[in-house]
Amino acid sequence: MQKLLITIGVILLATGLLWPVLSKLGIGRLPGDIVIRREGFTFYFPITTMILISLALTLVVRFWGK
């Protein structure tokens, strides 16, 4: 359990540090992501980005577990 929590922490830290680079690649602004802009209000729901990240993490965990 400790190894899993440390690994998750390292992944989150790396993602946070690399976020400026990832945002320039278009991660987080993909077609299918929902953005609603109103005066004084912005709602952003990155559904496509979440699906791709979930798929990538599923593949990593599946291969890492074997």
Q: What is the pLDDT of residue 41?
A: 93
Task: Give the domain range for residue 49.
Answer: 2-65
Q: How many whole angstroms separate alpha carbon 43 and alpha carbon 51?
A: 18
Structural domain tally of the chain? 1
> Which residues does the chain have with pLDDT short of 50?
none
Q: What is the pLDDT of residue 44?
A: 87
Q: How many whole angstroms separate alpha carbon 9 and alpha carbon 5?
A: 6
